[in-house]
Amino acid sequence: MTLANHRSAEEIGRTERGPRNLPPLGEPRAGQEPQVVDTVLDNGLRVVAARHGAVPMVELRLRIPFAGSEPDHAARAELLAETLLTGTERRDRVRVDTDLAAVGGDLEASVDPERLTVGGNALASGLDDLLDVLDDALTGAVYRDEEIAAERDRLVERITVARSQPRVIAREELQRHRYGDHPFAREVPEAADVARVDAERVRELHRQKVVPSGATLVLVGDVDPERAVVAASRALGGWRSDHRAGELPALPAVGGGSLRLVHREGAVQSQLRLSAQALPRTDARYPALQIANLCFGGYFSSRLVENIREDKGYTYGAHSTFEFTPGNGTVLVDADTASEVTAAALLETRYELGRMAVVPPSGAEVESARQYAIGSLLTSTSSQSGLATLLSVLAGVGLGQEWLSAQPDRLRAVTADEVAEAAAGFFAPTAFTGVVVGDADELSEPLRALGGVELP
């Protein structure tokens, strides 16, 4: 099957000419910024429209702050998201899907503790139809009793499936550990709460919280931005409410402390999930912190990945990412590792955090991270869907295209000293808390020996 007469690995890895020099970068080429219109309609809805890309599509992202403090909010919100697009006076579930499909379209609603999102797309020629279906749901969703009853049963089953996923278990444990009973920690609803929600409770939530004031609509694609705003205004102008969208109550700062070990029966791999307080995107120190985070574990060529994956082979992927909510930012560090190397991986992770605090990233590390931060912003927003998603995320914290356009220059201006300061200030191991989810029978002993872990 493979060649019998092949060269040896040594012969393969060597040529007569020998190693060659890496070519320099060429001249930067100028792209063309999207044309953007960013405005607020008189019902309070902010609309951001951009012409971008070469395919005849339009991407839509609607984002409504949707936090709630009632104990059954997560259950009501989840049922609302699952049934928002399943019926109005004019359309039933099948008709919604049929009308969207006629313009190559899709709309999907999802919810988390902070916001309700409706995301979708259609052929650009079908923008009016897409907006019409959206408006119909926002102003006329009826939540038929039978749809709610059926969705409730399915949701209970889906919650069971979700809670069998290690990453979902780990996320819930981390949220509880970081935020206790703050509404932000209630992501997957409790099955018992879902079972008690009736259609009237969902309709009531819609009346109170599916509102334009404080919400943002992003439209990106092969559209004239001015005309897209007019289309949005025409379609959604009748969506009105005296209520204001549900902003998330301020989050307490994440403080450093012991990790909590959570037992999961039959686990062959553990989830390491660490977190510390960071900064909001709008903070002047954020670009330096962004570079520091890349140096630590925010991309492949980072200290953490090069250590626990490429040197030790403890994990397939280690990551360090930011989580932003209005006015706040935290850093999340994650890696999944086999039970037998979990304690060793935690030790190395703490070592790399400590190194960030006392051995600042070198000039080369900072330059590499800087280039990556600038370049990946370019690549991730090169598609219509990528730009739409990022503009929607930025809109959620009050920012827009002007922030996006200026971010490369802010990154270029960051000095190595500023990165060192951010690294020391935010990545010290003592600033972190977190959870380890895995087989406690195997993990307890080595984690006890390491210390700083509450055992079950």
Partner 1 sequence: MVEPHLHRLTLPNGLRVVLAPAPGGAGHAPVVGLSVHYDVGFRSEPEGRTGFAHLFEHLMFQGSESLEKLAHFRHVQGSGGVFNGSTHQDYTDYFQVLPSAALERGLFLEADRMRAPRLTEENLRNQVDVVKEEIRLNVLNRPYGGFPWILLPPVLYSTFANAHNGYGDFTDLERATVDDCAAFFDTFYAPGNAVLTITGDFDVEHATELVHRHFGDVPAREVGPRRSFAEPAPSGEQRDKQQDAHAPLPALALGYRLPDPVGELDSYLAHVVLSSVLTDGDAARLQQRLLHREQLVVEINASAGLMGAPLDARDPDTFNLMAIHTPEVGADRVVAAVDEELERLAAEGPSAAELARVTARWQAGLHREQDRIVSRTLDLGSTELLHGRAELVSELPDRFAAVTAEDVAAAAKALRPDSRAVLEIEPAEQNSAGGAA
Paired sense of beta strands 57-65 and 315-325, if any: unpaired
Task: State the minimum distance, in angstroms, from the CB of residue 396 to partner 1.
Answer: 22
> Can you tell me which of 191, 230, 338, 424 binds partner 1, judged by CB under 8 A?
338
Token code pair at residue 265: 């029966």
State the binding string over 429-448 for partner 1 (x if CB under 8 A, else -): --------x-----------
Residues 6+ apart with CB under 8 A from 124: 56, 57, 58, 221, 222, 223
* Positions 69 through 88 that interact with partner 1 (CB under 8 A): 86
Paired sense of beta strands 315-325 and 216-221, if any: unpaired
Binding of residue 51 to partner 1 (CB under 8 A) = yes
The DSSP letter of residue 223 is: S
Task: State the minimum distance, in angstroms, from the CB of residue 49 to partner 1.
Answer: 12
Task: State the minimum distance, in angstroms, from the CB of residue 220 to partner 1.
Answer: 8
Binding of residue 89 to partner 1 (CB under 8 A) = no
Binding of residue 42 to partner 1 (CB under 8 A) = no
Binding of residue 314 to partner 1 (CB under 8 A) = yes
DSSP assignment of 343-406: HHHHHHHHHHHHHHHHSPPPHHHHHHHHHHHHHHHHHHTSSHHHHHHHHHHHHHTT--HHHHHH
> Can you tell me which of 102, 192, 250, 413 binds partner 1, judged by CB under 8 A?
102
Binding of residue 412 to partner 1 (CB under 8 A) = no
Nearest to 245 by CA among 365, 398, 456, 56: 398
Task: State the minimum distance, in angstroms, from the CB of residue 310 to partner 1.
Answer: 6
When the beta carbons of 161 and 284 are compared against partner 1, the nearer one is: 161
Binding of residue 409 to partner 1 (CB under 8 A) = no
Amino acid present at 191: A
Token code pair at residue 313: 């082979």
Q: Is 393 exposed, middle or buried (0-12, 13-18, 19+ CB in 10 A)?
A: middle
Binding of residue 416 to partner 1 (CB under 8 A) = no
* Positions 137 through 196 that interact with partner 1 (CB under 8 A): 150, 153-154, 157-158, 160-161, 163-166, 169-170, 172-173
State the binding string over 368-387 for partner 1 (x if CB under 8 A, else -): x--xx-xxx-xx-xxxxxxx
Number of residues that bind partner 1 (CB under 8 A): 114
